[in-house]
Every structure is written in structure tokens, then in C-alpha cells.
Amino acid sequence: MGRPFFSDQGVSAISVIGAFSLCLFAFILRNALASRTKKLQNAAKVSEKPTAASKPESREPGGNVTMGIRSMPWDEWIELDQQFVDYHKIRIHRIETRGEHVVKTLPENPGVVGSGHPGGQIKDITVVPLGKTFNLGEEDPMRLSALLIQEDLAIMVEGTDGRYYFQAGAVCIPGWWNMREKLGMALDEIHISGHVPQFETKLNMSMARFFKRMPVDKPVVRNNYTFQVVPEEEKQDELDPIELAWAKTMKGEEDAKDIEVETTSRGLSLFYTFNATRKTDTRAWVVGRYGSLDGLVLKPSTVWLRTERQTLRRLPRSGAIVFTIRVYQTSVERLGKEPGVPGRMASAIRSWSEEVARYKAKGAYEGIVEYLDQCHKEQVEGGVEAPETNHPF
Ligand SMILES: *[C@@H]1O[C@H](CO)[C@@H](O)[C@H](O)[C@H]1NC(C)=O
Ligand SMILES: *[C@@H]1O[C@H](CO)[C@@H](O)[C@H](O)[C@H]1NC(C)=O
Ligand SMILES: *[C@@H]1O[C@H](CO)[C@@H](O)[C@H](O)[C@H]1NC(C)=O
Ligand SMILES: *[C@@H]1O[C@H](CO)[C@@H](O)[C@H](O)[C@H]1NC(C)=O
């Protein structure tokens, strides 16, 4: 049996992408065209402080894994911030160098290119901070969408078997996974192949039901997070210094055959031997030796919190579901200085089950807990007040 066939029930790519682009353009228009200048840069306010904007919540008290979703106000669908231009540079470089690995619409959805503009009213879009104009008649809608926003996008379409399939994507900055390996997969296959903890036992049923029933007028948002080890400053790549697009320091070369997604995300902790001997003045720890991690120095400035803000909404015409992934990164060094954060973060990390710790490759950076404890102690001794919050950290 091949993949369920999509196009005969009115769920054509044209309506999927068209409706998607329509929504997107409405947003972009508001931000980029209506007031011509500045607006795009000013839209930044939302995520000036990524830690506050990103509330990782995916579990209930008691440790049960849930989807952790909240309802999403309409005007918070897409988040632009002051890093738009930096993200754009990375995103366009990825599209140019990696092509279909990052932007692709499956051929079951024919006739996509050029179908994206609503009623021919808008011919092009200029993104002011970039000084770039995109012609809607010429651009591939997924590629264009990827270049107008900082989010990665996945379009999920219901198959005749009632499952949702990943049919079109613009995933430029995935960090750990390759879109092309997942494209065409059903929702459950994606999660199983990604080794999402407790997926089959706890999440699959409710997620499948949620996708099927999700109403057009009830978009949702969720967050998840992990930590990422990045190179020291003098060894950073110029375009993508903290490995937004690909977590090379942790995962090795993106296309390396011998480093399978599976081995690395599950086994990474084995590769590191943590040496907790603190170097008093630098707060640095030496990590064990392994391949590309050879000689890497783990310290609060080389471990970054990576949060994903994910949204889901159903498109009105096609019924397809748009999944957006917005990535934020913040160094542990900076987090350690935020009132109340180090204490909460240390206890969040301590509360991970063994399975979650393996999924998040805790072994690669667990020395940060000691640092966070130290920061917490200093805050308590210094009388720093932790603001009231319902964030895990
Ligand atoms: C966790 O899930 C189990 C089984 O699904 C349920 O019995 C239990 O009450 C849940 N615990 C919490 C704290 O929600
Ligand atoms: C996930 O749930 C769906 C819907 O109930 C079902 O069709 C599918 O077989 C399940 N997948 C797994 C791996 O349990
Ligand atoms: C967040 O969840 C998605 C799947 O829902 C997964 O692919 C991704 O790796 C997770 N990201 C982090 C930072 O844990
Ligand atoms: C840990 O690091 C210290 C200082 O660099 C070193 O003296 C010690 O031998 C190391 N311990 C191990 C187990 O590698």
C-alpha cells in the first residue's frame, strides 16, 4: 500500500498553500507593508527576552507527558523580532545550499508554484529591513513563506485513512533532524522515528484525536526545550555562530552517514565523560574526549537553552494543519543571571526522567546544574527576589 491519496477530496495543494499564504500575507502585510518602515523591526518587542517568551511546558505535575498545549491568541501566530535579519541570512543560505532538504512540497500536491497569491491583488512583498522584494507570482509559496518569517513550517494534510501526513515543509533551522527524512510520514511515524519519550504509550492517541478534531477558530501553542552545546567564541562560524540551523557540536556533520539521528540523540550522553572539577575563576568544566567534541570546554557560555515555540492551526479552506516552529536560544550564562531562573532551571533539569534526560542528551551538559546551583545560592544570599511565575524556570 502506498501513501493515502490526497488530491481528490478538494484538499489540493493549491488550496493548502493558497490559504496558508493568504493568512501569512495578511500578517506580513500588517507588519511589513501597512506602515512601510520600522514596523518589522519594532515587532521585536514580543521576544526581546526569549526566556520570558518561551515557556517550556510539556508535562503535568506528577511527571505525565502531555501535549502541553495552550490556546493561542490570533495575533501571536508568528513572532518576528530584532534577530529577523540574522535569521534570514541563515535561512536563505540553508535554502540555497541544501535545497530540497529544507524546502519541499510533495508531488502528491501538484501545481503549487505560483498559486500562492490571494486573488491577484498583491503582486509582490517588500521586506523593508532586507531591502528585498519578492514577486508572488514567481516564488514557490513554501520557500517564500520561509523567507518572510523566522518560523519553520510544516503542512500536515489528512489522508484517506484519517491520519495526518507531513506534505509540505520549510524547515531551515531544525537543529537536529532532517526534514527530508520525515516528509511524507504520518504524525505518529514522525514522533516514533524521533524517539519522543512516551509517545506511543502517552501521546499518540490524544495527539491523533486532537489533529482530527481541531477547529479552525482554535489555534494552539506549545513549547519544548533542551540544551545545546555550542563552540567557544573563537571557534564559531561567522554566519551561524551558535548553531541555530544545525547543532554540529553535538551531532557532528549534518550529512555524516555514520552519525545516525538515533545513535546520537540516544547515545550522546555516553560520548561525554563529565569532569566536574570546577576551575574556580572561569567556571569551566572539561568535557571528555570524543570525535568532534575533542577538547571542547563546557562552560555557561557554551551551553545554550534552545526552546521551540510551536503553533498549530487549521486552515479554513483546505482543512490542512500548519505547524510552525520558532527557535529561541539563550546562553546558560545569561539565564544564570536572571532573578529566580537558575534555581528553577536546576530543579527542572533534576526532575527529568531517565528517558527524557537521554532524549535531551543531558549527559552532554549536566555540569551546568552545578553552575545554576551556585548562581541560585548567590541570588539567595544576595537577597535577589524571584518574581512570581508559572514557568518551569
Ligand atoms: C498520569 O497518567 C496515569 C495514567 O494515564 C493516570 O492514572 C494518573 O492519574 C496521571 N497522573 C497525573 C498526575 O495526572
Ligand atoms: C497512533 O494512533 C492512531 C489513531 O488512533 C493509530 O491509527 C496509529 O496506529 C497509532 N500509532 C501507534 C504507533 O500507536
Ligand atoms: C521539540 O519537539 C519536536 C517534536 O514535537 C522535536 O522534533 C524537537 O526535537 C523538540 N525540540 C526540542 C528542543 O526538544
Ligand atoms: C578532571 O579535571 C581535573 C582538572 O583539569 C584533572 O586534574 C582531573 O584529572 C580530571 N579528572 C578526570 C576523571 O578526568
- The pLDDT tens digits for 264-301 are 433 343 333 333 333 322 223 333 333 334 456 677 88
Ligand number nearest CA of 277 is 4
Exposure string over 251-271, b if 16+ CB within 10 A, otherwise e: bbeeeeeeeeeeebbeebbeb
Ligand 4 centroid from CA 283, angstroms: 14
- pLDDT score, position 232: 84
**Which cell numbers hold the place of 286?**
572539561
Residues 6+ apart with CB under 8 A from 356: 197
Q: What is the pLDDT of residues 229-242, one digit of tens each?
A: 888 888 899 999 99
Most confidently modeled range among 198-202, 282-286, 342-346? 342-346
Q: Which atom of ligand 4 is nearest to the CA of 275?
A: 1
Nearest to 202 by CA among 191, 194, 211: 191
Task: Tell me the pLDDT tens digit for each residue of 7-38.
Answer: 333 333 334 444 455 445 444 444 433 333 33
Residues in contact with ligand 1 (CB, 6 Å cut-off): 60-62, 64
What distance in Å separates the CA atoms of residue 165 and residue 321, rounded to the nearest whole number? Answer: 10
Lowest mean pLDDT among 190-199, 208-217, 345-354: 190-199
Whose Cα sits closest to atom 2 in ligand 3? 224
pLDDT averaged over every residue in the chain: 74
Non-local (6+) Cβ contacts of 172 within 8 A are 90, 91, 94, 95, 102, 103, 146, 152, 245
Rounded Cα gap, residues 7 and 39, in angstroms: 39
Q: Which residue's CA lies nearest to atom 2 of ligand 1?
A: 64
- Dist. CA 68 → ligand 1 center (Å): 14
Whole-number pLDDT of residue 253: 74
The set of residues, in sequence order, having a beta carbon less than 8 Å from that of 131 and lying 6+ positions away, is: none
CA nearest ligand 3 atom 10, residue = 224
The percentage of residues in the chain with a pLDDT greater than 70, rounded to a whole number, is 68
Query: Residues 79-109: pLDDT tens digits?
Result: 999 999 999 999 999 999 999 999 999 986 5
Residue with cell string 571528555: 288
Share of the chain above pLDDT 90, in %: 43
pLDDT value of position 393: 57
**Tens digit of pLDDT for each residue in 202-220?**
889 999 999 999 999 999 9
More confident residue, 68 or 161: 161
* Highest mean pLDDT (candidates 107-116, 180-189, 248-257): 180-189
Mutate to test the pocket of ligand 2, among 67, 156, 188 (most ligand atoms within 8 A of CB): 188
How confident is the model over 384-392, as a mean pLDDT? 71
Atom of ligand 1 nearest to the CA of 61: 13
| Contact criterion met (CB below 8 Å) for 132 and 126 | yes
At residue 308, what are phi and psi to the nearest 5 degrees?
-115, 125
- pLDDT band for 53, please (50, 70, 90 cuts): very low
pLDDT digits (tens, 9 = 90+) for 116-143: 555 567 888 999 999 999 988 888 889 9
For residue 5 the three cell numbers come to: 491519496
What is this structure's pTM? 0.75
Amino acid 145: pLDDT: 92
Model confidence at 173, in pLDDT bands (50, 70, 90)?
Answer: very high
